[in-house]
Amino acid sequence: MSALFVAGTGTDIGKTHVACTLIRVLKARGLAVDAFKPVVSGFDPADPSSSDPARLANALGDPAALPRISPRRYLAPVAPNLAARLEGDTLALEDLVADCRAALAGDHDLMLVEGAGGVMSPLTDDATNLDLIATLDLPVLLIAGSYLGTISHVLTALVALRARGATIAAIVMSESLDAPDLVQTADALGAFERETPIFLAPRAEHWDASALAEHLAKGL
């Protein structure tokens, strides 16, 4: 496994947050890690600092990597295909696949490819993140929240991913604001999902991702 697709059960769920922490931990262990987000919406060129590619670039220790990490950047905070259309662009799955494959051909121990939104959020007018995952045939790091309702969202995402033959390397439950107890929620999920390890990301700027890193590093 030299690449992982960082997918979410939804948007604003913790994909970038978890990816950045994982990058820092793996880099500290001496691994050559890289990141790619094929398309980003909600990107403000006048203030890119809080954007996904900027956060990923900072985690990599290479702020100048922003345009390489996300070559397709759109302003409107909506689905990428809609945001692109507002700027006169039409996104095509084959172009996103080609961009990802070019990034995956680079020299690294692990490439994290972050999607946009959730597993079945649209990327183009006729393709979702799931279509990109299936086409790239990458193992998935599935990021979930811990809010009331997350169990159904995780199990539904797993059904959708497995129906397209995707393998799930791990699940990370990233603690949501104003949510029920994180450990209890993860245990409740674990009663229904016994195949895939579930890691916890408590609500904090920095959390101990060493167990997750060790699990993923085994596959490298």
Ligand X SMILES: C[C@H](N)[C@H](N)CCCCCC(=O)O
Ligand Y SMILES: Nc1ncnc2c1ncn2[C@@H]1O[C@H](COP(=O)(O)OP(=O)(O)OP(=O)(O)O)[C@@H](O)[C@H]1O
- Residues at the site binding Mg ion, with contacts judged by CB under 5 A: 15-16, 52
The reply to whether 218 belongs to the active site is no
Per the annotation, does 69 bind a ligand? no
Query: 76 vs 190, which CB is nearer to Mg ion?
Result: 76
8 near ligand Y (CB under 6 A) = yes
User: Could you list the residues that contact ligand X (CB under 6 A)?
Assistant: 11-12, 41-42, 77, 79, 116-118, 121
Supply the minimum distance, in Å, between the C-beta of residue 58 and ligand X: 18
Query: 41 vs 166, which CB is nearer to ligand Y?
Result: 41
Per the annotation, does 195 bind a ligand? no
175 near ligand Y (CB under 6 A) = yes
Range in contact with ligand Y (rule: CB under 6 A) among 8-16, 83-91, 126-134, 162-170: 8-16
Please report the DSSP string for the chain in residue order. --EEEEEESSTTSSHHHHHHHHHHHHHHTT--EEEE-S-BSS--TTSGGGSHHHHHHHHHT-GGGHHHH-SSB-SSSS-HHHHHHHTT----HHHHHHHHHHHHTSS-SEEEEE-SSSTT-BSSSS-BHHHHHHHHT--EEEEE--STTHHHHHHHHHHHHHHTT--EEEEEEEPPTT-S-HHHHHHHHHTT--SS-EEEE-SSSS---HHHHHHHHTT-
Residue 108 interacts with which of Mg ion, ligand Y, ligand X, none, CB < 5 to 8 Å by class:
none
Binding positions for substrate? 41
